[in-house]
Amino acid sequence: MTQIITTISEMRAQVHAWRNAGECVGLVPTMGYLHEGHKSLIERSVADNDRTVVSVFVNPTQFGPNEDLESYPRDLDRDVALVTHAGADVVFHPEPEEMYFPDRSTTVHVEGLGNELCGKSRPIHFDGVCLVVSKLLNITTPDRAYFGQKDAQQLLIVRRMVRDLSIGTDIVGCPIVREPDGLAKSSRNTYLSPAERAAAVVLSRSLACGRAVVESGERSAEAVRAAIRAELATEPLAEPEYVEVVDTNTVSPVDVIAGEVLVAIAVRIGTTRLIDNFFFDPAA
Ligand code: PAF
């Protein structure tokens, strides 16, 4: 049975004991309400490391004032069962008061990479992610930490933060896990009504159109964006927030696809905001 640890001092003591026994450690940071996507990260960590910690913490600092912090789905019992089944050793589940001092005064800001895509509508989001991820890395000092490619901008920002701050953890990006019809797995999919759930398949369908354009040799970012937008327009319930082609180093939009790019979209289906993406490297 997976052990649940709620305090930073106990978490540190456990990692210390593992290290003394010569064991290596993997961390899978999550906000809980785990699904197959998280399970694939946990299984990868269990395969790569002697010990795996899964953090389950709905991080208040990455939610804006009008976002879904209060209503974000939570089910710790179910999460612990999934983590146990996937073979991890510890669920680290601190209360917000354990993680944040009321007078905390430190921010972690990665300059530039958070300006576009999700950063435009969620201005404080990535600072909150960087703060909590740097704390989780400091608490668990893992050899490797696992992040899903669905949150691609998060993955690029966390990699940059870890590089710039000389944090000794390898950041491992893992492929998007999808439903049989193509919808990327997400805890927020539970917000969708049956009609919205059916409409949500337009995200992956539109990205497939964009991928077909770029794989045919087209190098104009606008042509890729236009193909995606045209497919999104076929679904009346879909309201695109952004359709972008960005450089993977700067996360800035490109006109011409000359190096590796991230093709990313955010779409509202009803009141639910969903994201999806793919990476493309013309040299690969
Ligand atoms: O991807 C998430 O679930 C969160 O942003 C993370 C990395 C666990 C930080 O709270």
Domains of the chain: 3-174 (3.40.50.620), 187-276 (3.30.1300.10)
Atom 9 in ligand 1: residue holding the nearest Cα: 129
- What residue type is 67 in one-letter code? E
Q: Dump pLDDT digits (tens) for 86-139.
A: 999 999 999 999 999 999 999 999 999 999 999 999 999 999 999 999 999 999
Whole-number percent of the chain with pLDDT over 90: 100
Contact 47/88 with Cβ under 8 angstroms? no
29 Cβ inside 6 Å of ligand 1: yes
Active site residue 85: no
Asked whether the whole model's pTM tops 0.95, one would answer yes
Ligand 1 center to 236 CA (angstroms): 30
Atom 8 in ligand 1: residue holding the nearest Cα: 30
When pLDDT is averaged across residues 142-161 and rounded to a whole number, the result is 98
Atom 1 in ligand 1: residue holding the nearest Cα: 30
Ligand 1 center to 202 CA (angstroms): 25
pLDDT at 1: 77
Residue 200 has pLDDT above 90, yes or no: yes
31 Cβ inside 6 Å of ligand 1: yes
**Band (229; pLDDT cuts 50, 70, 90):** very high
When pLDDT is averaged across residues 165-187 and rounded to a whole number, the result is 98
pLDDT at 232: 98
